[in-house]
Amino acid sequence: MDWRSVMFQAAGGLGLFLMGMKIMSEGMQKAAGDRLRKILKILTSNRFMGVFVGFIITAIIQSSSATSVMAIGFVNATLMTVKQAISIELGAAVGTTVTGWIVTLNVSAYAMPIIGLGVLIRFFSKNRTWQYVGEVFFGFGILFLGMESMKNGFAPLRTHEGFLDLFRSIDGHTFGSVILGVFVGTITTAMVQSSSAVVGITIALASQGLINFDGALAIVMGSNIGTTITGIISSIGGSVNAKRAALAQTIFKTIGVVLMLIVFYPFRDIVDLVTPGSPAKNLTVHIAMGHTIFNLVNLAVFLPSISILANIVTKIFPDKMKDVDDLPEHFINIDYNMIETSSMAIMESEKEITVMGEYVVESLRKLREMSVDKPEDIHKLCDTIVKNEDRIDKYQFYITQFLLAVSSRSLTIQDATAVGSYIGLAHNLEKMGDYVENISLIIDKLNRKQLSLSKYAVEVMNKILDENIEYFIESMEMFRGGIKNPSYTEKALSRSIRLKKMIKDAKIDHFERLRDKVCENKVAIHFIDILNNFDAMGSENFNIAEVVAGRKY
């Protein structure tokens, strides 16, 4: 037997299978676009909704590992709780069985026409959604071409005694052989990082008569444990809650396999009973059915116990004491695993930009207090603004780095526009923080020199500042609500023009008071600096409004 030919064809087939799955997954994600994001936005603490969301997303992107990584990433980003993540992971486990059913379809003979159809749709359709649908067809065809290649690669092994002896040892006739099958499934899945791929390989082996139903069922059960390695890896270096979510997934999948091993033979009989035909004649469908029933039983067992499971992992990973001056934990552990799924990565960046905007609002309000508080409080307020500005700078750096990494992926026009807009928005927010800091330092400097602005100058300054604060908060509330209203640009432009006029009038009036020697020269230049910073702040406010309204890239 030509081992090189077997290895090359089987490895090439596995490569085509994985690449086909990746192309199909990316095409589905692009075609889904904002719909995928909206599915997650409707997620509530309802565990049934979480299961449904996990199932739907996994059925769309064809990877329970990716869905679990997303869930762990969202927990890491404080976008959801550990309980919500567990419910999503339970749904994802059921969703991944869809891949097994797809693989059982006997469409290998049509793989090439499906690839051709996908290419035609991709290159000749002017509608972008249809182009993404073409990618789905192309990936679908490549997947089945890989399956056929794996089947052909494994075919010579039907006559090789050594290989037959290996799989005869996983025949399910003894409990030890079942344990061996679970072990093989676990290790293989941990290596290839895809339970779907292992299910595909198992079905390919079964189609060549190299493995029986009992052995295949044991391997598929083991793949459910092996797939948890992806979540464990993604939680390394993450927050405490991310580790909890990853551990919870490992616990319920491992316990599920152990429980099913206890009743393995009755379980096998039930699968055989509900599946049409005998395992000998309809083995691939029996394998897919066994995979599905296993995960449905797991879901039924653990869905009522989510709170208990969450409490267990909380005790294993207790909360850590955090320094109040530190940045929020979810920001420190911004999750790069979500870069592979642009819709999810954009959601995470929206969350971080919102928090960044809240720091800007806090600084603006502290600045407003500086003109009305007692002099001894001015330095304390200024110090708070300076610390906030340091946080804002770090947010801008990490958000930009994250979004630049996202931009290197294959994106839809809509997602690429969002990435570009959010990079610009993070920059605008950082500049807003700079101008607030500049003004606070000027006021602090005047206070230390025992100088003060006139009562009239303070009134003018506060009117301009109040206008800027109201302007900024309104824009950020629209951003937080996901409202894209192009007409808001007109309102923002009108407000910017009014701000410009207020600042211009303040300067003219200031120079007139200087001429009349109403203002001190020592203070005059500082007031002009404050007005110049307000002018730049107004411009940034308009830039932010344009991004929020969806009118600026």
Tokens of residue 83, six digits: 């309980």
Domain ranges in the chain are 3-316, 341-549
Global confidence as pTM: 0.56
pLDDT, position 239: 66
Q: CA-CA distance, 35 to 335, in Å (whole number)?
A: 22
Residues 6+ apart with CB under 8 A from 18: 146, 192, 194, 197
Helix ranges restricted to H, 193-239: 195-207, 213-226, 228-235
Q: Look-up: residue for tokens 């344009």?
A: 546
- Per CATH, the homologous superfamily of domain 341-549 is Phosphate transport system protein phou homolog 2; domain 2 (1.20.58.220)
pLDDT at 90: 87
Q: In 33-127, which residue ranges form alpha helices assigned H by DSSP?
A: 34-41, 47-61, 64-76, 82-95, 97-104, 111-124
What's the pLDDT at 520? 63
Query: What pLDDT is recorded for position 305?
Result: 86
Residues 6+ apart with CB under 8 A from 76: 235, 238, 239, 241, 242, 330, 333, 335
pLDDT of the residue at 168:
63
Q: Spell out the residues 6+ positions from residue 280 whose beta carbon is closer than 8 angstroms to its own.
A: none
pLDDT at 151: 64
**Tens-binned pLDDT, residue by residue, of the chain (553 aa):** 566 777 888 788 778 877 876 776 667 666 655 555 555 555 545 678 888 888 887 776 666 666 676 676 566 655 567 888 888 888 888 887 876 677 666 656 677 888 899 899 988 888 877 888 888 888 878 877 876 776 677 666 555 666 556 656 777 778 888 898 898 888 877 766 667 777 777 877 777 777 788 888 888 888 888 878 766 765 765 667 778 888 888 898 899 899 999 999 899 889 888 888 887 778 888 888 888 898 899 899 888 888 898 889 888 888 654 443 444 444 544 556 566 667 777 877 888 898 899 999 999 999 988 876 565 688 888 999 999 999 899 889 888 888 888 887 777 777 888 888 999 999 999 999 999 999 999 988 888 888 877 888 888 889 999 999 999 999 999 888 776 778 888 888 898 999 999 999 988 887 887 776 666 667 778 888 999 999 999 999 999 998 888 766 5
Q: What is the pLDDT of residue 427?
A: 93
Among 177, 176, 261, 183, which residue's Cα sits nearest to residue 223? 183
